[in-house]
Amino acid sequence: MSPSDQFLATADAALRTLFATPRAALPCPTLPGEATELTATEKAHAGALMRVNHVGEVCAQALYTAQAFATKNEALRAHFIRASAEETDHLAWTEQRLNELGDRKSLLNPLWYAGAFGLGLLAGRLGDRLSLGFVVETETQVEAHLQSHLTRLPANDHASRAIVAQMKDDEARHALDAQKAGAIELPQAVKNVMRAAAKVMTTVAHRV
């Protein structure tokens, strides 16, 4: 792929993530036989949490797209593109669930995308192994975040919980795949900064 083709593909990915309706390759996870009946308060609470999860998937698209753009290794580019495609399922599932809950996506999604893309591009420019290390730490933190949502979602919100549980399993696999591909561990200071940035994002996205 030529540089101009890569640029156009990267721009197309951004526009699709932010403005198009995502289409999942796999069906949305469900818990057969478990009906979800929520009060208005429970719906609002679940909606805020799923909005945060949707933002996380917007950021995942940005990160993987940026890292694919930055690497010169064609095999690694294919790895990032494949991971991004799998994350598209998560993006579609969380958007679908937000619609079912009568809630909305974050109004700041373009900002979240731009920030995550910048981080992914920086990580990619610093080298493939460090870029993969960034994936490992990101996915590890996301997995922990999703686990916390499983404890915070309404107990009878089986629809949201099925989605979050599947996403958690997938993120753990993405971290493992990055480790196998040659990731190096990030310095603790970098991990702490990533956690702080994630905290800001999740706090704001919960409301906006």
Q: Tell me the pTM.
A: 0.93
Q: Is residue 31 in a domain?
A: no
pLDDT in tens, the chain (208 residues): 677 778 888 998 999 999 999 999 999 999 877 778 899 999 999 999 999 999 999 999 999 999 999 999 999 999 899 999 989 999 999 999 999 999 999 999 999 999 999 999 999 999 999 999 999 999 999 999 999 999 999 999 999 999 999 999 999 999 999 999 999 999 999 899 889 989 999 999 989 9
170 in a structural domain: yes
In a domain, 76, yes or no: yes
Classify 39 as helix, strand or coil.
coil
Residue 160 forms part of a structural domain: yes
Q: Which of 163, 177, 69, 46 is nearest to 116 (CA)?
A: 69
* pLDDT value for 1: 65
Domain with residue 200: its CATH number is: 1.20.1260.10
In a domain, 93, yes or no: yes
Residues 6+ apart with CB under 8 A from 135: 63, 67, 83, 174, 175, 178, 183
Domain that includes residue 172, residue range: 3-18+40-205
- How far are the Cα atoms of 52, 57, 152, 193, 199 from residue 42, in angstroms, in the given order? 16, 23, 11, 32, 23
Q: How many domains does the chain have?
A: 1
